[in-house]
Amino acid sequence: MSYLEFLSLTENSDLRYEYIDGEVYCLASPNYKHQIAADEIYATFHNWFKGKKCKPLTSPFDVTLIKGRDNINVVQPDVIVICDTGKMDEKGRYQGVPTLVVGVLSASTRKKDLIKKLDLYTQTGIRECWMVDPDKQEISQYCFEKQNITDQKLYSGETTVRSACFKGLGFKLPWD
């Protein structure tokens, strides 16, 4: 499917989709543990970013990422932090590159999130990504620079994940 066909599909549907490397993925409704993890992270981000230039947002919210002229992708990370808030199109769709993205893993999307999305984030200028495992209460943090993973850390147990991009932003584990 082409990018324009994907846009037509999503404008005429109440379902949620992602579009990665020309493939369309229908998004299932998240489970309770998934939502609790996403909500806890967003609440922490929301409070920390109050009064600051950058803004955290939650899914569903389309993020258009461009790998190449003929490779436009659309994803809906669970939480994003954008600092280029002026990059909205005429319909209020975000056309910039988030600084930080958070993906909460689920059984049905785990492989896509850890392979396709990490690759997409690496190649499109995102600087930091957290992949959250709600069952294990673990967070894998990835830092990207010049289309490479420059650092990766796994957080579990009683600890605090510290953002590499936003000095002072931290999220305490476990979250419930």
Q: What H or E segment, with its residue span, contains residue 14? A: none
Domain range 30-173, CATH class: alpha beta
146-151 own/partner pairs: CB under 8 Å, 24+ apart? 147/122, 147/123, 148/122, 149/118, 149/122
In this predicted structure, what is the pLDDT of residue 92? Answer: 81
Contact 88, 104 (CB under 8 A): no
Output the tens digit of pLDDT for each of the chain's 176 residues: 899 999 999 988 989 999 999 999 999 889 999 999 999 999 999 999 999 999 999 999 999 999 988 899 999 999 999 999 889 888 888 889 999 999 999 988 899 999 999 999 999 999 999 999 999 999 999 999 999 999 999 999 999 999 999 999 999 999 97
CA 169 to CA 62: how far, in whole Å?
Answer: 24
Domain ranges of the chain: 30-173
